[in-house]
Amino acid sequence: MSPMSKSAATVQRPALAALAMVPLLTSVGVLAGGGAGALGLRAPRLDLIAQASAAIQVHLASALAAFLIGAVLLLGAKGTLSHRALGWAWAGAMGATAVSSFFIHQVNPGGLSLIHALSGWVVVALPVALYAARRHKVQLHRRSMTGLYFGGMFLAGGLAFLPGRLLGQVFFG
């Protein structure tokens, strides 16, 4: 078992599952306008993604991969061969997400925006977290990777669902 106690892991897993449900619940209206009357399902506008630039499509695909792989890593056993293999896949997806964001300029046409600071953070923090794992600095690795996952996926990812942004338009119109 990992250094995390069984009781802490028992509390952490439902909390992570609940956080992962926020985009789904929001897209069906439960969190976006209240109550059972808001449950009118509507199909996401995937055509908007198909019409987006290649940079946005790469960014979205790698972010989705990082989100899913990261959830498996957070919920699974640590230190195993599968954890290490998935960890490298996650690092690649997270790196691709960060680098591809530098080619997206919808928020500030022609330049970088504040959200690109998060991508810069990933470009710096990801190698630190990988180095910590290679040197068996478990606490630093855990804190860094957890911060990258939640910061990248829920802070930056959450901003992508704001009105006027692509995912906001795809899911909420």
Residue 56: the pLDDT is: 92
| Cα–Cα dist 116/105, whole Å | 9
* pLDDT at residue 144 is higher than 70: yes
Residue 35: the pLDDT is: 47
Backbone φ and ψ of 145, nearest 5°: -70, -40
pLDDT band at 1 (very low <50, low <70, confident <90, very high): very low
Amino acid at 3: P
Residue 151 tokens read as: 């910061």
In which residue are the tokens 């061969």 written?
A: 81
Say which residues have a Cβ less than 8 Å from residue 38's Cβ, sequence separation at least 6: 28, 29, 30, 32
Residue 29 tokens read as: 């209206």
Residue 100: the pLDDT is: 95
Q: What is the rounded average pLDDT of the residues 54-82?
A: 94
For 72-128, what is each residue's pLDDT tens digit?
Answer: 999 999 989 999 999 999 999 999 999 999 998 877 777 777 788 889 999 999 999
Give the pTM: 0.73
| Cα–Cα dist 104/173, whole Å | 21
